[in-house]
């Protein structure tokens, strides 16, 4: 480390980079980025970057030949000052020696081959520039740091640490549970919204400022260059999907591709109205025509009889009770309470309880909380406590029977908004759920619009057939309709499809 003439202390130079022991990066840490990704983690998660990816300000980073998705991520980097092992979140910040700017560059073209590790996509030479100045942690307020990123002089990211989901002390403490953090280790603390793709010739600059003291790291500058070499045939080839482009650019619009249909986007007002107007059996038939035979949640009772509900799935998973795990996950503001507090209008909470009826998965207070939050319904393949009180609430509940015992007898509330199994089928967050006493169906969002159109047409045909059977016509040739009956049907539709005219 050397001293800057401006008096900001140490700077990142080649000698500093050589002394770094390990580089650890946080996946998602800013709320703005989590909103782009469509998920907010309950706990931080991490990946490692090679120390050979470290670089100093003013350098270059190469985009390999034949690739297109090199993305920048302006971040605040923490440099450990004193060793940390099993420290508390309150003490975590005390082990940080310095703060600086970083750019967590990544190549999305090869990300698929990493299988979640980010080894190649994030560890290319020059993919982790740091600096220029190292601000002493004791002189800055970690709750009031400003992070900015410029591309070719235009601001691309501007956020403060007030937007963090996890504060720095918690991140240090969490990592120290499993490994000793040594002086000189670097933690990249995540990027806010605004990260995107850069091309050869672009200059990316990142700066971190302490708002109160006006101390600054100065601008960390990196120039993108075009590489002459690409990936050789003896390794995994590069592969780019629209999902990769959306992740790299930050949004579908920026990537120039159509956004994938999520439950909320797929369940438009028109689709909702159509699906509510048709029988559950008709929807089931349309799904079966597409080869989807295992999309029914089976064996449950309904508190609201034949009242039909429709909504977008949120999920909660219970695992079998284990006393030590219940101590860590069952009490306090656990996954069960968190998901019910986060429910919104248009959503249906679906719970995986493994069909276990020997304990309740919720009671009247949590059911009421879900109702007040605006949820459309609750579905559980486990038991329910306070069933008579829950049944009197307005929110429909689909359940596997009553039981007076609470969670700890059979269940540990474990995870939220992950793929689960309920009543014999798989449910993913964002799936569209249609439910009444006749059945509970899971509709993949991408199929919702065509299923809605098809079932409305099928119901109209069924009404036509029913009316003619009621008038005494024989089934033969009418159900299903032959050519002659189809001609009569189409003429009836063209005339206005009024049952009174049949």
Question: pLDDT tens digits for 343-388?
Answer: 999 999 999 999 999 999 999 999 999 999 999 999 999 999 999 9
pLDDT of residue 1: 40
How many angstroms separate the CA atoms of 26 and 168, rounded?
Answer: 11
Q: Was 19 annotated as part of a binding site?
A: no
pLDDT band, residue 4 (cuts 50/70/90): very low
Q: What is the mean pLDDT of the chain?
A: 93
How far from the centroid of its chain's Cα atoms is residue 499's Cα?
47
364 annotated as belonging to a binding site for a ligand:
yes
Q: What is the mean pLDDT of residues 128-133?
A: 97
Tens digit of each residue's pLDDT (9 = 90 or more) over 297-322: 999 999 998 899 999 999 999 999 99
Q: Supply the pLDDT for residue 168.
A: 98
pLDDT for the residue numbered 3? 35
The alpha carbon of 166 is separated from its chain's Cα centroid by a whole number of angstroms, namely 17
Q: What is the pLDDT of residue 40?
A: 83
Give me the pLDDT at residue 9, please. 60
**Is 379 assigned to a binding site?**
no
Q: Is the pLDDT of residue 6 over 50?
A: no
Cβ(169)–Cβ(194) below 8 Å = no
Q: Is 386 annotated as a binding residue?
A: yes
Q: How far apart are the C-alpha atoms of 398 and 301, rounded to whole Å?
A: 5
Residues 475-498 have pLDDT tens digits of 998 888 999 999 988 889 888 888
CA atoms within 13 A on the CB side of 415: 12
| DSSP codes joined into one string, 12-52 | --HHHHHH---EEEES--BHHHHHHHT---SS--EEEE-GG
User: Do the beta carbons of residue 430 and residue 442 sit within 8 Å?
Assistant: no
The percent of residues above 90 in pLDDT, for the chain, comes to: 82
Please report, for residues 102, 232, 419, the alpha-carbon distance to residue 265 in angstroms, rounded to integers and kept in the order given: 35, 40, 19
Those residues whose C-beta lies under 8 Å from the C-beta of residue 183, and which sit 6 or more positions away, are 80, 81, 82, 83, 97
Q: What is the mean pLDDT of residues 107-133?
A: 95
pLDDT tens for each residue of 195-230 = 999 999 999 999 999 999 999 999 999 999 999 999
- Report the pLDDT averaged over residues 175-193: 97
- 293-443 fold: Glucose Oxidase; domain 1 (3.50.30)
User: Would you say 250 is a known binding-site residue?
Assistant: no
pLDDT at site 7: 37
Residue from 78, 114, 117 nearest 97 by CA: 78
What is the C-alpha separation between 46 and 58, in angstroms, rounded?
A: 27
Q: Is 43 exposed, middle or buried (0-12, 13-18, 19+ CB in 10 A)?
A: exposed
Q: Is the pLDDT of residue 37 over 90?
A: no
| Residue entry with tokens 């091309």 | 199
Domain spans, the chain: 10-255, 293-443, 449-501
| For residue 437, pLDDT beyond 50 | yes
Which residues, 6+ apart, have CB-to-CB distance to 318 below 8 Å? 336, 351, 352, 353, 354, 356, 361, 382, 407, 411, 412, 413, 414
246 annotated to bind ligand: no
- The residue count for the chain: 502
Residue 80 phi, psi dihedral angles, 5° rounding: -65, 135
Tell me the C-alpha to C-alpha distance, in Å, between residue 416 and each of 166, 333, 359, 363, 419. 18, 13, 20, 18, 9
Residue carrying the six token digits 């909504």? 311
Residue ranges of alpha helices (H) inside 357-411 are 364-373, 387-392
Question: Which range (46-55, 120-129, 393-402, 456-465) has the least confidence?
Answer: 456-465
pLDDT at residue 169 tops 80: yes
What's the confidence (pLDDT) of residue 206?
A: 98
pLDDT at residue 90 greater than cutoff 80: yes
Residue 377 bridge partners (DSSP): 348
Provide the 3-class DSSP secondary structure of residue 416: strand
Number of H helices, E strands in the chain: 17, 27
Classify domain 10-255 at the CATH superfamily level: Fumarylacetoacetase-like, C-terminal domain (3.90.850.10)
| pLDDT at 8 exceeding the cut of 60 | no
């Amino acid at each position: 480390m050397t001293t800057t003439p401006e008096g900001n202390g140490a700077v990142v130079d080649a000698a500093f980079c050589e002394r770094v022991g390990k580089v650890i990066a946080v996946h998602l840490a800013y709320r703005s980025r989590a909103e782009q990704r469509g998920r907010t983690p309950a706990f931080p998660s991490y990946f490692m970057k090679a120390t050979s990816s470290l670089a100093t300000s003013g350098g270059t980073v190469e985009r390999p030949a034949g690739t297109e998705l090199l993305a920048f991520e302006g971040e605040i980097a923490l440099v450990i000052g004193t060793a940390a092992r099993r420290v508390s979140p309150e003490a975590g910040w005390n082990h940080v020696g310095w703060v600086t700017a970083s750019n967590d560059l990544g190549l999305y073209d090869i990300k698929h081959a990493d299988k979640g590790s980010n080894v190649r996509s994030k560890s290319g030479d020059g993919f982790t520039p740091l600096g220029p100045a190292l601000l002493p942690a004791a002189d800055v307020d970690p709750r009031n740091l400003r992070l900015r990123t410029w591309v070719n002089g235009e601001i691309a990211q501007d956020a403060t640490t007030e937007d963090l989901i996890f504060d720095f002390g918690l991140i240090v403490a969490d990592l120290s549970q499993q490994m000793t953090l040594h002086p000189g280790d670097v933690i990249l603390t995540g990027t806010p919204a605004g990260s995107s793709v850069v091309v050869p010739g672009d200059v990316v600059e990142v700066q971190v400022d302490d708002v109160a003291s006006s101390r600054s790291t100065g601008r960390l500058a990196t120039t993108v260059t075009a590489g002459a070499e690409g990936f050789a045939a003896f390794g995994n080839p590069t592969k780019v999907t629209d999902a990769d482009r959306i992740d790299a650019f930050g949004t579908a619009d920026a990537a120039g591709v159509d956004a994938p249909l999520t439950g909320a986007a797929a369940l438009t007002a028109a689709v909702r109205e159509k699906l509510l107007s048709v029988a559950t059996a008709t929807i089931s038939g349309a799904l079966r025509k597409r080869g989807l035979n295992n999309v029914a949640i089976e064996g449950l009772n309904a508190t609201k009889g034949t009242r039909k509900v429709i909504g977008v799935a949120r999920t909660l998973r219970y695992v079998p009770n284990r006393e030590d795990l219940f101590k860590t996950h069952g009490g306090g503001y656990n996954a069960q309470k968190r998901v019910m507090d986060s429910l919104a209008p248009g959503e249906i909470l679906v719970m995986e309880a493994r069909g276990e009826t020997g304990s309740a998965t919720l009671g009247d207070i949590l059911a009421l909380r879900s109702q007040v939050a605006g949820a459309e319904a609750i579905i559980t393949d486990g038991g329910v406590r306070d069933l008579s009180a829950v049944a009197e609430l307005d929110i429909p509940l689909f359940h596997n029977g009553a039981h007076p015992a609470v969670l700890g007898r059979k269940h540990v509330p474990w995870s939220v908004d992950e793929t689960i199994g309920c009543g014999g089928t798989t449910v993913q967050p964002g799936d569209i759920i249609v439910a009444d006493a006749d059945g509970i169906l899971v509709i993949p969002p991408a199929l919702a619009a065509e299923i809605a159109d098809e079932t409305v047409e099928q119901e109209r045909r069924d009404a036509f057939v029913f009316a003619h059977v009621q008038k005494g016509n024989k089934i033969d040739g009418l159900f299903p309709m032959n050519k002659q009956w189809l001609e009569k049907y189409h003429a009836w539709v063209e005339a206005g499809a009024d049952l009174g005219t049949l």
